[in-house]
Amino acid sequence: MNFAPLSALSNDEQLFFDEVEKFARTHIGPKVLEMDEAEKLAPEILAQMFELGLMGIEVPAEYGGAEGSFMMAILAIQAISRVDPSVSVVCDVQNTLVNNIFNRWGTPEQKKKYFPRLCTNLVGAYCLTEANSGSDAFAMKARAFDEGSHWRLTGKKIFITNAKEAGVFIVFANINPELGYKGITAFIVDKDMPGFSLGKKEVKLGIRASSTCEVILDNVKVPKENVIGELGKGYKIAIETLNEGRIGIASQMLGLAEGALAGAMNYARQREQFGKHLREFQGIQMQLAELATKIESGKLLVYNAARLKDANMAFIKEAAMAKYWMAQVAEEVASRALEVYGGYGFIKEFPAEKFYRDAKIGKLYEGTSNMQLTTIFKLIDKD
């Protein structure tokens, strides 16, 4: 197990976290139920996230970004998730996947064109998954044909986060299926390119304010300069960005668990039964203490993985462990926290049922829990 140089937050990081959480509670909090029921992110919330620099945390200052650390992006995701995991995933995908790809593989021209907008008003989306290509991501059927002056993309992507709000999409397609995964290439596709469209918007169990749609590529003409990274190296981009993105999802689940526990603690302080507050019953005390301990262990995993990434140290195993463990913990905490409320936990008047619904996705996207365990085993087997 690798350990990062520092686990605790610096004063600047703590201040940043506190400011983001204050924003989340003040501006996102009053709209959580409304956005969940409408299955739509409030435009003013998105605009405020851009204004606060939360959509370009690691982007260099020369392009209008905050030029912050990866750890700062993880802290922003955690802080927002304490209030609404739906909103946090918009910030997560933008920073850990889309901006990350431009940062690491974009040409100077691509960065100059897209980064200023990604920091101010342009949402990005990451298009990898297909109907028959989920955990087996490289079984994709989307194709890219070299037409001389441009590339022509065909195919369909599913479960694309941020699709409804996004104006630019990182699309993975194969330029030569005979080469297998070595034909996969990444393309920058603008929403207004002819042939590009969105299919159905999924109706989901949780994180409902975050849009999830099909992306349809009907002979989309993509300029040659919109290839990002090298031809045939899209598999490398996909793997490496998802390794980092998993720390983002782990942070989302961390914040969710913290939010669910905080709600249960507050309720236990107020609710009276048999002449005592719930917090006075030893059974309740032990349950909440156990959940707090599991959350704290997960926080250390998440922060350690983020520190390792920032320190340019190996972090893949630690990222997989963080995502696996926090997905487990978040679901357990959300479920048991709901039970503290009794029957009230089952209704929308209290936040418990939404945290419970939102928690399930942690075991599914950006690599299922079983895929994380497979990755962990492969890496510990080499030790």
> Which CATH number covers residue 258?
1.20.140.10
pLDDT of residue 33: 97
- Give the per-residue pLDDT at 382: 86
* pLDDT surpasses 70 at 152: yes
Do 106 and 136 belong together in one domain?
Answer: no
Q: What is the mean pLDDT of residues 335-355?
A: 96
Q: How confident is the model at residue 258, as a pLDDT?
A: 98
Has residue 267 got a pLDDT over 90?
A: yes
Q: Which residue has the higher pLDDT, 2 or 251?
A: 251
Residue-number span of the structural domain to which 156 is assigned: 125-232
**143, 116: one domain:** no
Residue 136 sits at φ, ψ, to 5 deg, of -90, 70
Q: What pLDDT is stored for residue 4 in this prediction?
A: 53
Q: What is the pLDDT of residue 1?
A: 58
209 and 92 in one domain? Answer: no
Round to whole Å and give the CA distance between 265 and 337: 8
Rounded to the nearest integer, the mean pLDDT of the chain is 96
Is 104's pLDDT higher than 60?
yes
Backbone angles phi, psi at 158, to 5 degrees: -125, 165
Same domain, 81 and 161: no
Per residue in 154-170, pLDDT tens?
999 999 999 999 999 99
In a domain, residue 2? The reply is: no
Question: Which residue type does 67 have?
Answer: E
- Predicted pLDDT at 277: 96
DSSP H/E element including 70: helix 70-81
Mean pLDDT of 2-20: 83
Instruction: Answer positive or negative: Cα dihedral of 125, 127, 130, 135.
Output: negative
Are residues 136 and 67 both part of a single domain? no
- The verdict on 242 and 277 lying in the same domain is yes
Same domain, 221 and 148: yes
Residues identified as active-site: 366
Residue at which a domain ends, from 206, 232, 258: 232
One DSSP character per residue, 206-228 reads S-TTS-EEEEEEEEEEEEGGGEE
Pairwise CA distance, residues 172 & 175, whole Å: 10
Q: pLDDT band at residue 369, thresholds of 50, 70 and 90?
A: very high
Calpha distance 165→65 (Å, rounded): 20
| Angle CA 130–132–137, to nearest 5 | 65
Q: Which of 57, 92, 123 is the last residue of a domain?
A: 123
Residue 290 phi, psi (nearest 5): -65, -45
Co-location of 92 and 139 in the same domain: no
> How much is the pLDDT for 228?
98
Q: Which of 232, 267, 288 is the last residue of a domain?
A: 232
* Number of domains the chain contains: 3
Q: Are 304 and 3 in contact (CB under 8 A)?
A: yes
7 has pLDDT over 70: no
| pLDDT average, residue stretch 161-185 | 97
pLDDT at 131: 95
Q: Both tokens of residue 319?
A: 């990222």
> In terms of domains, do 337 and 349 share one?
yes
CB 232 within 8 A of CB 306: no
Cβ neighbourhood burial of 166 (10 Å; 0-12, 13-18, 19+): buried
Rounded Cα gap, residues 219 and 153, in angstroms: 5
- The structure tokens 């928690």 sit at 359
Q: What percent of the chain has pLDDT over 90?
A: 96
pLDDT at 8: 81
Per-residue confidence at 134, pLDDT binned at 50, 70, 90?
Answer: confident
Q: How far is CA 35 from CA 43, 78, 185, 193, in A?
A: 10, 19, 35, 29
pLDDT of residue 3: 55
Together in a domain, 282 and 326? yes
3-class secondary structure, 169: strand
pLDDT-based confidence at residue 6 (cuts at 50, 70, 90): low
Is 161 in a helix, a strand, or coil? strand
pLDDT at residue 276, rounded to an integer = 96
Query: Per the domain annotation, does 4 fall within a domain?
Result: no
Any domain includes 85: yes
Confidence band, pLDDT 50/70/90 cuts, at residue 79: very high
Q: Say if residue 247 is in the same domain as residue 227.
A: no
Give the other-Cβ count within 10 Å of 134's Cβ.
17
- Do residue 186 and residue 298 come from a single domain? no
What's the pLDDT at 138?
A: 83
- In this predicted structure, what is the pLDDT of residue 282? 96
Average pLDDT over residues 191-203: 98
Q: At residue 36, does pLDDT exceed 90?
A: yes
